[in-house]
């Protein structure tokens, strides 16, 4: 037992020394973070032109931080105050530690993480509530007895918050239980010693404030404050230093960014039931502010949505209670994870509701667009093209550009597709669904060679989904070869739109005689009535390379325009390529 206790004490003292060593190495003032190295280098150069001690480091998130330092903690806080007051750095700049910094990118070739601190560029003014590390212990503003008496007035929550703050500062590694036992007392003494106070193991009122101000610095930097919205029936803490109320547009209360940080927030408030909650859950996943990459869950009477990508991190939650759906969304820039985590935790902990619900007609006079949902931009794919089913399991033929360098490929119903074969030379791709589908109709490939001047029709999403269904565009075959006489391509007299590319080309019996290809760019502008299509032989060849085969047509009887439209609608699909 003695050996075990000795080992525990050794490990604890080693951990404390490690914390001291980290903090003695200095802290930094983080002023910006940028998603790309080029942007960060340009911003670092701009700051270095007017300020000393500017450095740049890559963050664990992949972003690039511009920082000033390293300084002793007290010096860094003074630099932060002075530069903020002078407008030299953004108001949401904050203290950062070396542990969050990776490889240095500015100045080029430098590596100063372990060089020790430098003298601050401003005259340090010792603050009575933020003693400088390493000074001779200062007398307390209260005696130990008085500090204990004041400590007894703390609530259980306040005691747990003190332990949490000690843990965040690196002095406490036990359970957050609000019980001030020997471990908590030792941690308090270590914190006092490091900050130049007499290590009594009992924090005075001023010391508790200094500790909590330190812990809450990320929240203070974004102006975290209480917000009450009687229209929505929601009260919570919000980062009002970086977001500001913009408008009501049911079921949301919109808060837009008010600084360069570009944070955003929403309050969610509406009447409803489980069906309403599910519909909200589905709709929110289609919004730009909810990137595709991240966990999401709908369970019982509540849902959560997280998303990362395109430079932002998004979190949403909502719950149904007594016929009312209440919740919030926080959108934060990537690369500022420490502050985002603290802000999100504060919002969750402070979120309360009452019986009021936002009027369903709120914001009805706002701008109306089909790509907006309650004033929020619907996520848009990088590219949308047509395609068509070639077998009963849902294999899709489309153009190569609809499958090129896509992080995700989907059909209009959000069904995911995988590339089975992509023939860049012919411009044709074969896509396989992640799970088997049940097409209404599939392509029947004509066995006859098409004749010049024969009538054809292309089924495609001419306006890339704006109409919600494919359209038929009519024309003629003008040549059974390509513009340069190449095989496997035929030329059409047909005025197609970019979204039609990938759509099936039908003859007057409803058989597929080809697939529309994109209009060649290659520095030329073709007449609007000239289009190109891959032949059936070429399509069958590419399907064979993908280990599949097309279905041959059995009859060549003429069909009515209505029957052609029915077949076309049943097999033509809209293919989305997402970044």
Q: How far apart are CA 436 and CA 441, in angstroms?
A: 14
| 575 & 472 share domain | yes
| 209 & 233 share domain | no
pLDDT at 570: 93
Q: Does residue 186 form part of some domain?
A: yes
Q: Does residue 238 form part of some domain?
A: yes
| 371 & 234 share domain | yes
Q: Does residue 2 form part of some domain?
A: no
Per DSSP, what are the bridge partners of residue 515? 504, 534
pLDDT at 134: 39
| 443 & 545 share domain | yes
Q: Does residue 12 form part of some domain?
A: no
| 457 & 575 share domain | yes
Q: How far apart are CA 65 and CA 106, in angstroms?
A: 10
Tokens at residue 313, please? 């991190």
Residue 442 CA from chain centroid, whole number: 37
Q: Does residue 370 form part of some domain?
A: yes
| 46 & 98 share domain | yes
pLDDT at 215: 86
Number of domains the chain is built from: 4
Mean pLDDT per 10-residue run, the chain (579 residues)?
40 41 68 87 90 88 86 88 86 82 86 78 50 45 87 92 89 90 92 89 92 87 94 96 94 94 95 94 91 91 93 96 96 90 93 95 75 78 93 95 88 85 92 91 90 93 79 92 81 90 94 91 72 93 93 85 93 91
Among 335, 357, 377, identify where a domain stops: 377
Sheet holding 352-353, edge to edge: 224-229, 234-239, 352-353
| 178 & 38 share domain | no
Q: Does residue 247 form part of some domain?
A: yes
Residue 259 CA from chain centroid, whole number: 19
| 386 & 451 share domain | yes
Among 215, 235, 250, identify where a domain stops: 215
413-452 residues labelled b (16+ CB within 10 A) or e (exposed): eeeebebbbbbeebbbbbbbbeeebebeebbbbbeeebee
| 284 & 419 share domain | no
| 269 & 291 share domain | yes
Q: Does residue 6 form part of some domain?
A: no
Q: How far apart are CA 292 and CA 296, in angstroms?
A: 10
Could you tell me if residue 375 is left (phi over 0), alpha (psi between -120 and 50 degrees) or otherwise beta?
A: left
Q: Does residue 294 form part of some domain?
A: yes
| 414 & 499 share domain | yes
Q: How far apart are CA 334 and CA 61, in angstroms?
A: 7
Among 377, 401, 430, identify where a domain stops: 377
Q: How wide is the angle at C-alpha 531 spanned by C-alphas 529 and 533, nearest 5°? A: 155
CATH number of domain containing 320:
3.40.1000.10
Say whether pTM exceeds 0.75.
Answer: no
Q: How far apart are CA 244 and CA 266, in angstroms?
A: 11
Q: How far apart are CA 94 and CA 360, in angstroms?
A: 40
CATH number of domain containing 392:
2.40.10.120
DSSP β-ladder status, 551-552 and 444-445: parallel
State which residues form the domain around 482. Answer: 381-579
| 153 & 299 share domain | no
Q: How far apart are CA 565 and CA 579, in angstroms?
A: 32
Q: Residue 378 carries which DSSP code?
A: B
pLDDT at 297: 95
Helix (H), strand (E) at residue 114: none
């Amino acid at each position: 037992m003695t050996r075990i206790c000795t080992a525990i004490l050794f490990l604890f003292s080693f951990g404390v020394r490690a914390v001291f060593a980290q903090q003695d190495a200095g802290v930094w003032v983080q002023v910006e973070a940028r998603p790309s190295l080029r942007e960060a280098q340009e911003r670092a150069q701009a700051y270095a032109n007017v300020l000393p001690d500017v450095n740049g480091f890559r963050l664990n998130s992949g972003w690039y931080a511009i920082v000033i330092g390293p300084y002793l903690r007290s010096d860094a806080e003074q630099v932060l105050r002075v530069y903020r007051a002078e407008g030299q750095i953004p108001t949401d700049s904050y203290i950062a530690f070396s542990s969050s910094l990776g490889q240095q990118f500015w100045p080029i070739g430098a590596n100063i993480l372990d060089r020790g601190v430098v003298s601050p560029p401003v005259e340090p003014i010792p603050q009575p509530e933020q003693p400088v590390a390493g000074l001779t212990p200062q007398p307390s503003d209260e005696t130990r007895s008085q500090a204990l008496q004041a400590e007894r007035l703390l609530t259980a929550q306040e005691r747990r918050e003190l332990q949490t703050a000690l843990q965040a500062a690196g002095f406490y590694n036990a359970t957050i239980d609000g019980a001030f036992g020997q471990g908590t007392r030792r941690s308090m003494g270590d914190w006092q010693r490091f900050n130049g106070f007499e290590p009594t193991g009992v924090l005075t009122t001023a010391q508790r404030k200094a500790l909590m101000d330190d812990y809450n610095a990320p929240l203070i930097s974004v102006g975290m404050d209480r917000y009450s919205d009687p229209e929505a029936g929601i009260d919570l803490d919000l980062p009002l230093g970086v977001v500001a109320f913009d408008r009501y547009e049911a079921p949301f209360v919109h808060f837009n960014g008010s600084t360069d940080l570009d944070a955003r927030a929403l309050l969610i408030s509406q009447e409803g039931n489980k069906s309403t909650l599910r519909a909200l859950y589905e709709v929110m996943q289609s919004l730009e502010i909810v990137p595709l990459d991240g966990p999401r869950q709908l369970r019982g009477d509540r849902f959560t949505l997280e998303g990362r990508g395109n430079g932002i991190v998004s979190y949403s939650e909502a719950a149904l209670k007594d016929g009312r759906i209440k919740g919030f969304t926080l959108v934060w820039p990537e690369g500022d994870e420490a502050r985002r985590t603290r802000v999100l935790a504060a919002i969750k902990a402070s979120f309360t509701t009452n019986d009021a619900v936002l009027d369903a007609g709120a914001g009805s006079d706002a701008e109306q667009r089909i790509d907006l949902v309650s004033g929020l931009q619907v996520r848009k794919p990088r590219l949308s093209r047509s395609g068509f089913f070639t077998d009963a399991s849902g294999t899709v033929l489309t153009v190569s550009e609809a499958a090129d360098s896509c992080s995700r490929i989907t059909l209009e119903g959000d069904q995911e597709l995988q590339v089975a074969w992509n023939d860049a030379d012919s411009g044709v791709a074969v896509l396989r669904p992640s799970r088997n589908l049940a097409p209404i109709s599939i392509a029947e490939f004509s066995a006859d060679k098409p004749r010049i001047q024969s009538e054809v029709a292309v089924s495609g999403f001419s306006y890339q989904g704006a109409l919600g269904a494919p359209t038929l565009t009519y024309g003629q075959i003008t040549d059974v070869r390509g513009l340069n006489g190449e095989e496997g391509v035929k030329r059409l007299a047909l005025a197609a739109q970019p979204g039609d590319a990938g759509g099936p080309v039908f003859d007057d019996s409803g058989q597929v005689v080809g697939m529309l290809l994109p209009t060649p760019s290659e520095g030329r502008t073709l007449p609007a009535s000239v289009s190109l299509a891959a032949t059936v032989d070429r399509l069958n060849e590419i399907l064979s390379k993908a280990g599949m085969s097309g279905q041959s047509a059995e009859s060549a009887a003429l069909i009515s325009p209505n029957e052609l439209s029915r077949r076309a609608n049943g097999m033509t699909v809209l293919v989305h390529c997402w970044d």
